[in-house]
Each structure stands twice: as C-alpha cells, then as structure tokens.
Amino acid sequence: MFWEQFSGNLIQGLALGAIYGMATMGLSLIFGVLKIVNVGHGAFIMVGAFVALWLFNALGVIPILAIPVALVIGLALGFLFYYTVLRRLVHAPELASLLATFSIGVLLEETVKLIFGSEFRGYNWAVGKIDLGVTVLPVSKLYACVGSALIAVLLYLWFKKTRAGTAMRSVVEDSEGASVCGVNVGGVYAQSFALGISLTVASGVLLTMFIPVGINPYMGGPYTLKAFVIAVLGGLASPYGAFFGGLVFGLIENGSYTLFALIPGVEPFALTRFFSFVMLLVILLIRPTGLLRAK
C-alpha cells in the first residue's frame, strides 16, 4: 500500500518536475548571460497562466495553442523591460538589479490585478485521463510534460546549432572574450533576456495545464522561490541543468512529502518546503556549480 502510493507520487513528481524544469530555464538563462537574478520571475509565470486562462475562457482556444501566443508575449515583455530598465543595470551592483526585477514583478502583478481582479480563477479543459495502475494521470498533464520536454530539446538544439545560440554560450563563458571575437554583447544580452522571459511566460501556460486552478495575480511568489532552488540544483547558470534540476526537484518534493507524512504530529507540506531550502543551502555551499555538472 505504501509503496504503491510512494511510486504513484514519484510518477506525479516526475511529471510536475518537467514543468518545474521548464519554468526555471528562463531564470537560469538570464542569470547565465546577464548575471542578473530575476526576482520577479514568478510574476512572468503568472502572466503566462493568465494568457492560457483568458484564451481558453474568453475565446475557447485550447492551452496547447496558447503556448506560441505566450512565447510571443514573453518576447515582447522581455525586450520592453530590457531596453527600458535592465540595459542600464547590467553592470550595476546586485542591489539595483534585484530591486528592479522585484519592482517589475510587482508592476506586472498589480497591472494584472487591475485588469482581472484578485480572485482565484481556473479553467476546465477535459481531455480524459490515463490510468497507470499506481496513479491516474490526466491527459492534459501528459501534454504539458511532452510540451515542456519538447521545448527543452528545441532550446538545446538552438544553443548548439544556431549562430545566435553559440553567441549566447560564448557570452556565458566570457563576455569580454566574446566581445573581442566580434560578438555584439549588448545584443546578446537583449536577446537572452527576452528569450528567458519568453520561456518563463510559456511555462506559465504549461503550469496551468498541470494545475488549472488557483490562478490569481499573486500566484507567482512560491514559484520564484522554487525556481531558485531548482536553478541552484542545476548550477544556476545552465538552462538545461535547470531542466534536469526541475525533474530532480519534482521527485524530491513528492517523495519527501510522502515520507514526512509518516511522521506523526508534523505538517508534512511545510516540512517539504523546509527540506527544499535546506537542500538549497547545502548545494550552494558544497557544490555551487550544481548537482549535475561533475566537471
């Protein structure tokens, strides 16, 4: 009975982990290239969730088709905030960029609140369920996992095969060296920030395919914190590290929840969160390059 529940939870955790990974790739990309921590990360996830919600409830567009819309909206927001704000802060002390990205997050939250109100919303996209024996997985969740894995693979190929992707990797390695070799570092900063935001907004759509309720302007906060843990798991500066970090985090989150629930007299949910932050600190101290990068 316990093992059935445990393995069922792990399968759910792996599926959720794929979404977590996708939702963190943008954060890692931006940190890797610009060395800026986007503290307003969760707000962009929230924007994606509202894109999916609005397209589905108002226009009847299925969430899969909302993904390209979210990517475009994300690109636009990314370029907008880069050229108006972050361009001036790339080489400023951390204080400035941390506070600026936090304020951008607040601005997005309040704007969405002004338009949609602050009550919790949701949508219902019924496309059936698959019975896996130990657990039942709705088909919409399956689509979300496949979607995020696909985007991760496409991003990987884009980084390896295209000129723009190679330029970004060179800036991650050494921005001065890249600049000497003729890479337009300023342009790479703008593209990376926009791409990172775009991925993050799209991940908001995928997240609602996984959890289609509880959508509200302030839903992003917990995802910002989770994304930090996941990004650190994956090495903070590596987008694909972040994707695998997400898978690991999903497994650990659901696995440790099941185990903590066995201890009497505690709140397993809160202890799971506690455990994830302990993990964050331990990894930052002993392996700041991330779990998966052995080199």
Partner 1 sequence: MKTRLAKYYPLIPVYGAYLVMFFIGKNMSGMWQLMAMLAFYCALGQAFNIFLGMTGYVDFGYVAFLGVGTYGMALGITRLAHVEGIGLSVIVIGLALAVLMATLLSIAVGAVALRLRGAYFAIATIGVNEGFRYLIEGAKIWNGSEGMIFNAQMNQIFGREVASAISTFWADVLVLIIAAAAAFVTLVYMRSKIGYALTALREDEDAAKVMGINVTKYKIIAFITSAVFAALLGAAAWALKTPYVFPPEVFEIHYTVEAIIIVLLGGAGTLLGPVVGGLIYGVSKYWLAIIIPGFQLLIFAPIIILIIVLFPEGIVGMLRKKLRSRPEGAFIL
Contacts to partner 1 by CB under 8 A: 31, 35-37, 39, 85, 88-89, 92-96, 98-100, 102-104, 106-107, 109-111, 113-114, 221, 225, 228-229, 232, 236, 260, 265-274, 277-278, 280-281, 284-285, 288
CB-wise, 58 or 95, nearer to partner 1?
95
Structure tokens at 172: 């991650």
Q: How many residues make up the chain in this entry?
A: 295
Smallest distance, partner 1 to C-beta of residue 161, A? 30
- For residue 136, the cross-strand partners are 131
The distance of closest approach from Cβ of residue 281 to partner 1 in the complex, given in angstroms and rounded to an integer, is: 5
Instruction: State in angstroms the smallest separation of the CB of 101 from partner 1.
Output: 10
Pair 103, 234: CB distance under 8 Å: no
CA distance 46 to 69: 14
CB-wise, 66 or 219, nearer to partner 1?
Answer: 219
Q: What are the helix and strand counts (H, E) for the chain? A: 11, 2
* Complex with partner 1: residue 106 or 130, whichever CB lies closer: 106
User: Which lies closer to partner 1 via its Cβ, residue 131 or residue 176?
Assistant: 176
Q: List residues bridging with 137 in a β-sheet.
A: 130
Rounded CA-CA distance 280/278 in Å is: 5
Separation between Cα atoms, residue 281 and residue 223, nearest integer Å: 18
Q: Which residues contact 83 (CB under 8 A, 6 or more apart)?
A: 190
Extended strands (E) in the chain: 129-131, 136-138
Rounded to a whole number of angstroms, the minimum distance from the CB of residue 117 to partner 1 is 11
- What single-letter amino acid sits at 18? A
Least distance from C-beta 37 to partner 1, angstroms? Answer: 4
Q: Which of 20, 30, 47, 39 is nearest to 152 (CA)?
A: 20
Task: Name which of 8 and 42 has its Cβ closer to partner 1.
Answer: 42
Nearer to partner 1 by Cβ, of 4 and 94: the residue is 94
CB of 141 to partner 1, least distance (A): 26
Q: What is the spatial distance between Cα 232 and Cα 31, in angstroms, rounded to a whole number? A: 11
Helix locations, 60-184, DSSP H: 63-84, 94-116, 139-161, 163-173, 175-180
Min. distance of Cβ 36 from partner 1 in angstroms?
A: 8
- Nearer Cβ to partner 1 (141/226): 226
